[in-house]
Amino acid sequence: MIFATVGSTAIPFDRFIDALEGLPAGDLFAQHGPMRAPATASRAVPYMQFPEVVEAMEAADVVVSHAGAGSILCALRAGHTPIVVPRLKRFEETVDDHQVEFSRALAADGKVIAIEDLGRLPEAVANAPRRLEASRSEAPRPIQLAVREALYGAAA
CA–CA separation, 75 vs 90, rounded Å?
Answer: 27
Q: Please give the pLDDT value at position 137.
A: 39
In this structure, what CATH number is given to the domain that contains residue 120? Answer: 3.40.50.2000
Query: How would you write the pLDDT of the chain (156 residues) with one tens digit per residue?
Result: 999 999 998 999 999 999 999 998 789 999 999 999 999 999 999 999 999 999 999 999 999 999 999 999 999 999 999 999 999 999 899 888 899 999 999 999 999 999 999 999 999 999 998 875 544 435 555 666 667 676 677 665
Domain encompassing residue 120: 2-152
Instruction: State the pTM of this model.
Output: 0.83
pLDDT of residue 40: 93
The count of domains in the chain is 1
Identify which of 53, 55, 112 has the alpha carbon closest to the alpha carbon of residue 82. Answer: 112
Sign of CA dihedral 50, 54, 55, 56: positive
Q: How far apart are CA 110 and CA 105, in angstroms?
A: 9
